[in-house]
């Protein structure tokens, strides 16, 4: 990963709530729109990033992320590398549903049949980090929970599976930064709810 100035930060923004996120369904490449509460909470992200001067704003092209970026007052560029994990045959299913046929199944420990491996998602996260650290200033990334969790793990130099050690609420903001020459998490899972 490229070394950058200590003040250079990466702001992670998870999209607002959708019908599938409220029921905890694996929502990878299906383009589910924000629900009414998701649109309201996505707009609160504007308060979290107000006054921030981003050199670059990248967003997943899926509408739940793209719309969140706009509702937060950002002007993003689409980046396919920010797409959520391709869950293959598990798309649209909850972990509980999958466990009826595969006990103790987890996206972190089992093969994702017909989708991406953890290492493939980690490689995409590395490319995004390289692009972000090449920018001339702070960067905002608007994307999805599993992907951003894996990106945070990679920022810390951890294997992609350590994304399991983080959690992200919808319409949340997190900040990756530096302490001297060390990658750190400066803030994690900050939310501002209007209700």
DSSP states of 124-172:
HHHHHHHHHHHSSS-EEEEE-HHHHHHHHHHHTT--GGGGGG----TT-
- Residue 169's CB is within 10 A of a number of other CB atoms, namely 15
- Whole-angstrom distance, CA of residue 99 vs CA of residue 93: 10
Catalytic residue among 15, 144, 146, 162: 15
Catalytic residue among 8, 26, 84, 91: 84
- Whole-angstrom distance, CA of residue 139 vs CA of residue 159: 23
Q: Is 84 among the catalytic positions?
A: yes
Across the strands, what pairs with 70? none
φ, ψ of residue 118 in degrees (nearest 5): -55, -40
Q: Is 8 among the catalytic positions?
A: no
- Whole-angstrom distance, CA of residue 77 vs CA of residue 96: 35
Q: Which residues are catalytic?
A: 15, 84
């Amino acid at each position: 990963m490229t070394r950058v100035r200590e003040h250079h930060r990466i702001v992670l923004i998870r999209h607002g709530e959708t019908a599938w996120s409220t029921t905890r369904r694996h929502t990878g490449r299906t383009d589910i729109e924000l629900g009414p509460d998701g649109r309201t909470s996505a707009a609160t992200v504007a308060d979290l990033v107000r006054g921030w001067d981003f050199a670059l704003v990248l967003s997943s092209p899926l509408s739940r992320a793209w719309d969140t970026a706009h509702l937060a007052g950002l002007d993003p560029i689409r980046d396919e590398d920010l797409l959520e994990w391709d869950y293959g045959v598990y798309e649209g299913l909850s972990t509980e549903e999958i466990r009826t046929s595969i006990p103790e199944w987890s996206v972190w420990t089992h093969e994702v049949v017909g989708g991406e491996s953890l290492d493939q998602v980690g490689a995409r996260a590395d490319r995004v980090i390289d692009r972000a650290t090449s920018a001339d200033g702070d960067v905002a990334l608007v994307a999805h929970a599993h992907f951003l969790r894996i990106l945070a793990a990679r920022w810390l130099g951890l294997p992609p599976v350590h994304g399991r050690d983080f959690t992200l609420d919808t319409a949340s903001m997190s900040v990756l930064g530096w302490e001297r020459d060390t990658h750190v998490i400066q803030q994690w899972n900050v939310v501002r709810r209007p209700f």
